[in-house]
Amino acid sequence: MIFQLDEHDLFFPDPALAESDGLLAVGGDLRPERLLEAYQQGIFPWYSDDTPILWYSPHERFVLFPDELKVSKSMRQLLRSDRFTVTVDRAFDQVISACAAQPRSGQNGTWITTDMRDAYIQLHQLGHARSVEVWHEDTLAGGLYGVAVGNVFCGESMFSKEANASKTALISLCRSNTYRLIDCQVYTDHLASLGARMIPRDLYIALLHP
C-alpha cells in the first residue's frame, strides 16, 4: 500500500510497508525537518517534475563499507599523483547543480528538480548535507553530495567532468574515517566494482541507529 503524507504532519509509515519497488509514500514537502525525519528512518525522496514527491525505502539497500573499498592499481597511481585536489563542503551549490546537469544513461532530464536542489542547499546550510569536490587546477572536475545521519553518509548523486573524478571523490570520502557506512541507495555496476553490496533494510536501519 502507498501512503499519502499530510503536508503538516511529519509522520512516515513503517518502511517495512513499502511496495516491492521500495515506494512507500507520496506527497508531503521537502522542508528540512521532514527530510531529516525521512533519512533517520531509511527513507529518501526520488521523483521528477511531472510527479508528486515520492518517498522510497528499498527492501534491500546498496551500501559501501569503507573498509571493503576496492581501489584498482591505476586508481592508486592516480591518487598518488598531483592531478586532482579534493575539498569538502567548499562548493556544495556547484556540485548539486553539476549532478543535476550530468547526462544519465537511459534517463531524460534529471530527478534533481529545482525544488530538490533548493531543499538540499538548505540542508547544507544547516550542516546536514555535505559535498566532496574534486578539482583539476581551479576547475571543478567532479564530486558528490549527500546527507549525513550520524556516522552514515547517505549518498545522493555524483558527477564527473573528467575521467575518475567522481571515483576520486568517493574514495576520498571512504578514506576520511568520518563514516562507518556509505549508503549508495540503488545498485550500479560502477559502485559494485568498488565494493558496494546489498544488505537487508533491517540491517541498514540498525546501522543508522547503533
pLDDT the model gives residue 111: 81
Residues 6+ apart with CB under 8 A from 44: 38, 55, 56, 57, 154, 156, 185
What is residue 81's predicted lDDT score, i.e. its pLDDT?
94
pLDDT at 61: 96
Digit-coded pLDDT (tens) for 136-163: 999 999 999 999 999 999 999 999 999 9
pLDDT in tens, 54-100: 999 999 999 999 999 999 999 999 999 989 999 999 999 999 999 99
pLDDT digits (tens, 9 = 90+) for 116-128: 999 999 999 999 9
Is the pLDDT score of 23 beyond 90?
Answer: yes
The residue type of 38 is A
| pTM score above 0.75 | yes
- pLDDT at position 110 over 70: no
- Amino acid at site 58: P
Helix 114-125, helix 32-40: angle, nearest 10 = 80
Q: CATH assignment of 3-59?
A: 3.30.70.3550
pLDDT at position 109, please?
46
Q: Which CATH architecture has domain 62-208?
A: 3-Layer(aba) Sandwich (3.40)
Cell of 126: 544547516
What are 38-55's pLDDT values in tens digits?
A: 999 999 999 988 899 999
Q: Residue 202's pLDDT is what?
A: 95
- Which helix (H) or strand (E) element contains residue 41? none
What ranges do the domains of the chain cover? 3-59, 62-208
List, for residues 169-188, the tens digit of each pLDDT value.
999 999 999 999 999 988 99
Which residues have a Cβ under 8 Å from the Cβ of 8 and sit 6 or more positions away?
Answer: none
